[in-house]
Amino acid sequence: MLLAKKEILNYIKKGLLVQNLLDAEKQVQQAGVDLTVAKIFSLTGKGVIDFSNEKRQLPDYKEISMMDGIWKLKPGLYNATMNEIIKLPKDVAALVFPRSSALVCGLEAHTALWDPGYEGRGFLHFTLQRPIEIHQNARIIQMIFLKTEETEGYNGNYQKEDILKNRKRGFDLSSALVD
């Protein structure tokens, strides 16, 4: 079941789903929450993926500077970290989609499933098909929430990560999370 605005707001009041909203009235939509851009990175180096994750190697992140609060980006692949912190209960999964205005501007968002029980700073990879200007705190994606059966919860390498603070995946965010 897809959560609607009333249910989303009830979870948020309990400190769940999304924390650190800049403006809940603007960000909470009929069936999701708009997430806002805090920083944008380019990816450098190679990545390595294997079955067991023993050989996993993630690319490095290089922060892209803003000029007067605006990122002026050329077509290519980027990583953005969000201002918001995600805190999913053990019976809610999430998916992310680009906002329609971002799609029209040529921005395609790429994320994996956000597993039940995941906690951490929101981030995504995105591809630009054409040049774009993105203002700091722009709402470029919307997260939707799907009710599931309760599970043991996510316990992977990215639990409680904070890419905004550490510029790399997999670092602990415990001190920033609200219980």
In tens, the pLDDT along 49-103 reads 899 888 888 788 889 999 999 999 999 999 999 999 999 999 999 999 999 999 9
| pLDDT attached to residue 78 | 94
Predicted local confidence at residue 170, as pLDDT = 43
CB contact burial 92-109 (16+ within 10 A = b; e otherwise):
bbbebebbeebeebebeb
- Which pTM does this prediction carry? 0.86
Residue 134: closest CA among 67, 41, 72: 72
The pLDDT value given to residue 166: 55
pLDDT digits (tens, 9 = 90+) for 120-142: 886 788 999 999 999 999 999 99
Nearest Cα to Cα of residue 148 among 88, 86, 85: 88
At the topology level, CATH places domain 5-176 in Deoxyuridine 5'-Triphosphate Nucleotidohydrolase; Chain A (2.70.40)
pLDDT per residue as tens digits for the range 28-46: 999 999 999 999 999 888 8
